[in-house]
Amino acid sequence: MACLMETRDYANFDPYWYIENHIGNDFIGMQQDLDSLHKIFAECKVSGKRRLLDVGTGPTVHSVITASNHVDEIFLSDYAPQNLQYLAKWRKGEIAHPKKLLDYVLSLEDRLMTAEERENEVRDKVKGILPIDVTSEQPLGKDYDGGKFDVVISSHCIDAAVYEVDELAKCMKNVSSLLNEGGLFIIACDFGATFFQIGEYKYDGSSFTKEEVKTVMVEAGFEIKEYLEISNYEHQYCDAKGYFFIAARKLFL
């Protein structure tokens, strides 16, 4: 590995490098992600008029392609301004998401349309791109008054934003405050990672265990509905042993 600079600062996150090397260049890994999301939405029903928040979207919308069939409104969010700018360009149609991922979702859905048409369906559902800090008790800012959500997805965000279990627990509660009771929370976390690379930078890897994540979810008021583990994971730019998805419902008080 080339000599990389260590960082925890997402100001150093390069969205273009991430899309090219983590999203566009890891088709097997991405298929496993998309399979997992397809299965979760097939089994954990969301119906009626639904609003979804994807936390820490980064520059990639793969986490909301399947979801766009199940909700009416999607809000993307991120901490890093350069990722928000990237997403705004994508929403305007100035950037396309890797076509093979849209084609793969279409094959799972058994739908006959082009990747471009499917991507535009996702774009049409996106109603906002919001700054967020999952470490804050008011993650969308103190002036946010846009209401709560019925589905929240954290795809490698919360676990990438903090390093200790007590911090993870706080983030889980912060994000839970944005979710309606009975709402669905989906989290994807790496495990056993010591690093992941973004461009010239090396970030500390995410290494929470499934037991730790499940425990903080239950303590934050969730009932776990689905656990999916991908353990045969290999990636040039990350040494995670694997990753898992957990889907959970926020309990009614």
Q: Give whichever of 133 and 150 is closer to ligand SAM, judged by the CB atom.
A: 133
Residue keyed to tokens 């901490």: 79
Q: Does 133 bind ligand SAM (CB under 6 A)?
A: yes
Cβ-based burial of 246 (10 A; exposed 0-12, middle 13-18, buried ≥19): buried
Q: Does 83 bind ligand SAM (CB under 6 A)?
A: yes
Chain centre distance of CA 5: 25
**Reduced to 3 states, what is the DSSP secondary structure of residue 151?**
strand
Among 30, 65, 87, 161, binds ligand SAM (CB under 6 A): 161
Q: How far is the CB of 253 from ligand SAM (least distance, A)?
A: 26
Q: How far is the CB of 61 from ligand SAM (least distance, A)?
A: 9
Query: Residues 133-147, buried b or exposed e (16+ Cβ, 10 A)?
Result: bbeeeebbeeeeeee
Q: How far is the CB of 132 from ligand SAM (least distance, A)?
A: 5
Closest CA to 176 of 224, 225, 220: 220
Q: Does 60 bind ligand SAM (CB under 6 A)?
A: yes
Joined together, the tokens standing for residue 210 give 């499934």
Q: Does 155 bind ligand SAM (CB under 6 A)?
A: yes
Q: How far is the CB of 60 from ligand SAM (least distance, A)?
A: 5
Residue keyed to tokens 């520059």: 59
Reduced 3-state DSSP string for 88-137: HHHHHCCCCCCHHHHHHHHHHHCCCCCHHHHHHHHHHHEEEEEECCCCCC
Query: Residues 167-176, buried b or exposed e (16+ Cβ, 10 A)?
Result: ebbbbbebbb
The residue range among 43-51, 72-80, 116-124, 208-216 that interacts with ligand SAM, by the rule CB under 6 A, is 72-80
Q: Does 135 bind ligand SAM (CB under 6 A)?
A: yes
Cβ-based burial of 182 (10 A; exposed 0-12, middle 13-18, buried ≥19): exposed
Q: How far is the CB of 33 from ligand SAM (least distance, A)?
A: 8
Q: How far is the CB of 252 from ligand SAM (least distance, A)?
A: 27
Q: Give whichever of 24 and 121 is closer to ligand SAM, judged by the CB atom.
A: 24
Q: Does 248 bind ligand SAM (CB under 6 A)?
A: no
Q: Does 134 bind ligand SAM (CB under 6 A)?
A: yes
Cα distance between residue 15 and residue 76, in whole Å: 15
Q: Does 160 bind ligand SAM (CB under 6 A)?
A: yes
Q: Give whichever of 112 and 151 is closer to ligand SAM, judged by the CB atom.
A: 151
The residue range among 42-50, 51-59, 215-223, 229-237 that interacts with ligand SAM, by the rule CB under 6 A, is 51-59
Chain residues binding ligand SAM by CB under 6 A are 10, 13, 55-58, 60, 63, 78-80, 83, 132-135, 155-157, 160-161
